[in-house]
Structure 1
């Protein structure tokens, strides 16, 4: 079972995009990707909202998330959130171990 957390960072005047850029340039994104249990750490920009950035953050289990949250790196991420005055909306998903049902496969173009 994996856990995926979608974090929507919102700010003003391009703050969310500057936050994501600083996370990339500083190496913080790569450090997160190297943490034990990280499966994905990727930023995306919603087409319809230039003031929001989506982080898709996937982990093998809750223990891996807890270790990430306890890391010194998390304190740096929190400082950056404050620097850019970002607000967050969070969604959390647990993987479906059986995968995409065969009936839904008909709607997937490969």
Structure 2
């Protein structure tokens, strides 16, 4: 059974949390995949996505309107925190629902797949 991810209409996490990751994930390093031009230095060993290290964060790669329709323009090359973030309808994740609440969106309830 296939279904569309709630992330395609949400995007709250991309505009609520800082996205920081090891510098080796960026294209400036051998084997890196995250576009370096969309990152900024955060710590001697960490980068973050531009726009996420602000009082009101919003990732530079996020396109669309939060809570309506969104997309990541570097989805295939997104950093590890984004790859590892679990949407609230895919499993328990209080961080997802905290970001959603910030934008007035209802919490997601994990959907159990039936075989």
TM-score normalised by L of structure 2: 0.28
Highest RCO, 1 vs 2 (Cα 8 Å, sep ≥ 6): 1
Normalising by structure 1, what TM-score?
A: 0.29
More strand per residue: 1 or 2? 1
Instruction: From the CA coordinates, give the structure whose radius of gyration is larger.
Output: 1
Structure with greater helix percent: 1
